[in-house]
Structure 1
């Protein structure tokens, strides 16, 4: 601070020292400085080392060789120092980075205070750790009652890290002539955390919220940073990222995420065409949100020049919804203070880009995440419904295939059966096995009643929390065939899987399975009746599941920006082909995850088709086969049809036709000769 005082009217030539005293906030005066006076009297001085934003009063003591001058002490009015620049204040508590990525400047990491209660840890399907966490930057700022939240997503290499770091320097008013810069995330950390590095595999993967206080904005800003999409672990890793975002939606209270001002998609401006993986990943993010968020999706295009970014057309071609976009070129933010004119121009452009961006954020409508939470919940229910549907269809097809094999056995051993001779045969059956997960850190939800795995990778390790598992609705499991209560489920160190095994059986096994002691029917007739009953029962259950799946799709279409995942099929198929073609390190595991997602995407697409029939390949039926089965088993036919509404008649007929087609094969039952057969079981005569 500069102090100025008048020259004394008398005795100025006798002054040898000028003592400057200061009082802080009306406390006692203390000596701040002493000026030695030579032949010329001093009328001003620059007082240094003052505290910012502090009230001071100053006074002067004019000393001569005889002591203090008898003149009155010179006092100043109370004055207040200017606030310390934001950048210097943040630097005072920051840590100098050991290994700077920018050799031309000093790089500091701001002090980050973690909000422990907001932290949520998960164990990934890969055995790694990760989750959501929250840090406060820039100290506390309780005076602000307004805040805004930005979710930042983008592919590895799109410039997301540099964009966030540049934003922090802009917000804390770092000047181009300053010899230091700030960074929140290093490029090395980002590369490792995203899993993109081929040399180092990250042990942790986090979605991190940075609460930025005391910036140049008049509100508190929260930037939610996500791991870069498109890493070497592929689609499974990206699904973990979207899972974290959904988990943050579900957290309640001030540490959760109940509102969002913008979803910022960081994309390279030079992208003329998004890769199929990039399209898939961006659509995964869009699929998290309700239709009300469409105007709040903002592409942030990096590495821009004066021309129109080609990435805009690429985003439109990928059906990414957006109404506005922002261009950035942050190349000058970390060039250091010794800039040439070209770099100074880019610094100015970078500052201008952030000014326009935050002006745009001001006018965006704030969006509650209640609709987005509903979208996430319905999408999860849809996915689990499809998984359950796939499970039932797979079981039914397996049963039918086993019956077909046994039917072939009966054809081949007709004489042995009539003579009651012993024989053996082999069939392929699905058997359960336990896949050990010991030491992987993966949590499961296994049903002790049904003896199946209902959720292979559960967030909850404590059995007391299994009611919160994704597989549960209203306290019951959606995956269990018996819809078991949640407390029948445990976290066990294994997954129960079904694999095909070749089993050797005997004629006694065949009899026990199909003969009924109270019946005089032939073994073959019992077998056909059993197949018909089983098929119709399961078909009814499958049809109910299909209707529920379609209901979920209809509900999603009303509220979600991406109601259906049908477009995923082509993306995933091409990604699988690329992985197999490139055969880069770890491609087999990535293909495995992709094929799993492809099955779900296809199942959802098929279920949305009104003509969808999961057992279609067993149903090339004709009216003759329907009549044949109805004639052979009138009790089953009449009982089934009598209890069903008109709409169910078609399903029942299809079920009977399926059995006939499955067992009789491609016979032409319209042939009148078939109707004249007099044998008790013409199908067993193998005509």
Structure 2
């Protein structure tokens, strides 16, 4: 796959069976990598008694849990073969974790990688399920987790809402507390009768457990029980997946195009506003110089006065042209914002100054390694967000 920031792996020979495509998204440390390994072992029919396991994703043990184990958007195409436990081929799109210690710039890179994958000629054009991977124990969403949810939702078109699925990791037999947190956050997704998100629970703790009896461990112990429970949950998920309608990513591609156009416009506006303010200052200084000359009556001073006036006129012309250009870009940006409001599941959280302030305060409070640099990046993004807010309100920038 020759797509910037993306890689692809094919498992088995191309099959004529129907293909299902799922995308796994979530915060760093949510258990996506282990879940993918669990999915592949179930699909190919690995049993508890087998003395082997498959591992599609090899977690880098040298990396901190606070840093995503995946650096690129990775596409795994698992072509159906005789003996599989699923009646279809499966494409898994695994994304790097949002909200890791590398900060906001890394999250922007991930969004760009996803845009590349969806926009490329040989990329991904349709999907069955957009899966949020969340740990069961999160009783409420932290500022970072809410940011992750909103960041992901802002990438997709509104027509994806019914294809959003919640995959709960590290789950036991109880109702996962995270469901109430997701409900409170207003994530658009299919709901149960009691208003909670339709969800699938997973616990892959026994995936790589020792299955040979030894010592005091009895055959058929807790690990085997968790394995069997996991297999049942996998089956439930894949049965449901087979019934989900495939949806085109056309609207999502438009969301990503509009976002990209808006980002380019805002960055350019920032530069032009600085240039415009510098010209205003030059006009002020030159006008002050002209005022000082007004008291002089000599011919030379009169000549200087005309020269200074010519400079002011030239600066005013340049400033007017700049104003016209800024106005045109602002109008284009307003169209982007309005269109995104119509088609995107959520606004980009990085377009809201107050939202960014919460992330800045969190960084200052936690003071994790590299926090000062991350705050600097957030402040840069905040400047763009303030500019976007002014555009939304129709304020003059110059």
For Structure 1 versus Structure 2, the TM-score category normalised by the shorter chain is 0.7 to 0.9
1:659-670 alignment runs, 5 A limit: none
User: What's the CA shift for 1:260?
Assistant: 0.9
Note if 1:224 corresponds to 2:97: no
Task: Report the counterpart of residue 356 of structure 2 in structure 1.
Answer: 572
Note if 1:236 corresponds to 2:105: yes
Task: Report the counterpart of residue 186 of structure 2 in structure 1.
Answer: 319
> Is the contact between residue 119 and residue 134 of structure 1 (CA under 8 Å) also seen in structure 2?
no
Task: Report the counterpart of residue 585 of structure 1 in structure 2.
Answer: 369
Note if 1:212 corresponds to 2:78: yes
Task: Report the counterpart of residue 626 of structure 1 in structure 2.
Answer: none
> Is the contact between residue 167 and residue 199 of structure 2 (CA under 8 Å) also seen in structure 1?
yes
User: What's the CA shift for 1:595?
Assistant: 2.1
Task: Report the counterpart of residue 195 of structure 2 in structure 1.
Answer: none
Task: Report the counterpart of residue 36 of structure 1 in structure 2.
Answer: none
Match of residue 144, structure 2, among 246, 266, 277: 277
Note if 1:133 corresponds to 2:16: no
Supply the distance in 1 between the matched residues of 2:357 and 2:297 (Cα, whole angstroms): 52
Distance 1:542 1:146, change over 3 A: same
Encode CA deviations 1:37-78: one digit per residue, 9 max, x unaligned: xxxxxxxxxxxxxxxxxxxxxxxxxxxxxxxxxxxxxxxxxx
Encode CA deviations 1:214-268: one digit per residue, 9 max, x unaligned: 2321111111112222222111112211211111112214xx2111111111111
Task: Report the counterpart of residue 352 of structure 1 in structure 2.
Answer: 232
Distance 1:407 1:581, change over 3 A: farther
User: What's the CA shift for 1:134?
Assistant: 0.9
Q: Which SS does the other structure have where 1:304 is aligned?
A: coil
1:584-603 alignment runs, 5 A limit: 584-603=368-387
Match of residue 265, structure 1, among 120, 132, 148: 132
> Is the contact between residue 267 and residue 302 of structure 1 (CA under 8 Å) also seen in structure 2?
yes
Task: Report the counterpart of residue 391 of structure 2 in structure 1.
Answer: 607
Encode CA deviations 1:398-439: one digit per residue, 9 max, x unaligned: 21123324444556x5588666999xxxxxxxxxxxxxxxxx
Structure with bigger helix share is: 2
Supply the distance in 2 between the matched residues of 1:596 and 1:420 (Cα, whole angstroms): 51
Encode CA deviations 1:324-351: one digit per residue, 9 max, x unaligned: 2212122222222145533333222211
Match of residue 155, structure 1, among 1, 19, 27: 27
The root-mean-square deviation of aligned C-alpha atoms, in Å, is 3.0
> Is the contact between residue 147 and residue 221 of structure 1 (CA under 8 Å) also seen in structure 2?
yes
User: What's the CA shift for 1:600?
Assistant: 2.2
For structure 2, the residue ranges without an aligned partner over 5 or more in a row are 191-197, 214-218
Match of residue 380, structure 1, among 229, 236, 260: 260
For structure 1, the residue ranges without an aligned partner over 5 or more in a row are 1-117, 122-130, 423-507, 517-522, 616-687
Task: Report the counterpart of residue 196 of structure 1 in structure 2.
Answer: 67
Using the size of structure 2 for normalisation, the TM-score is 0.85
Which structure has more relative contact order (CA 8 Å, sep 6+)? It is 2
> Is the contact between residue 280 and residue 568 of structure 1 (CA under 8 Å) also seen in structure 2?
no
Count of residue correspondences: 382
> Is the contact between residue 8 and residue 74 of structure 2 (CA under 8 Å) also seen in structure 1?
yes
Distance 1:346 1:420, change over 3 A: farther
Encode CA deviations 1:76-119: one digit per residue, 9 max, x unaligned: xxxxxxxxxxxxxxxxxxxxxxxxxxxxxxxxxxxxxxxxxx13
Note if 1:555 corresponds to 2:350: no
Supply the distance in 2 between the matched residues of 1:263 and 1:418 (Cα, whole angstroms): 77
Give 1 or 2 for the bigger CA radius of gyration: 1
Task: Report the counterpart of residue 2 of structure 2 in structure 1.
Answer: 119
Task: Report the counterpart of residue 166 of structure 1 in structure 2.
Answer: 38
1:29-178 alignment runs, 5 A limit: 118-121=1-4, 131-137=5-11, 139-142=12-15, 144-178=16-50
1:674-685 alignment runs, 5 A limit: none
Note if 1:250 corresponds to 2:119: yes
Supply the distance in 2 between the matched residues of 1:537 and 1:530 (Cα, whole angstroms): 11
Supply the distance in 1 between the matched residues of 2:150 and 2:182 (Cα, whole angstroms): 11
> Is the contact between residue 180 and residue 336 of structure 1 (CA under 8 Å) also seen in structure 2?
no
Task: Report the counterpart of residue 327 of structure 2 in structure 1.
Answer: 543
Supply the distance in 2 between the matched residues of 1:366 and 1:590 (Cα, whole angstroms): 38
Distance 1:541 1:119, change over 3 A: closer
Supply the distance in 1 between the matched residues of 2:177 and 2:200 (Cα, whole angstroms): 13
Supply the distance in 2 between the matched residues of 1:277 and 1:404 (Cα, whole angstroms): 45
Structure with bigger strand share is: 1
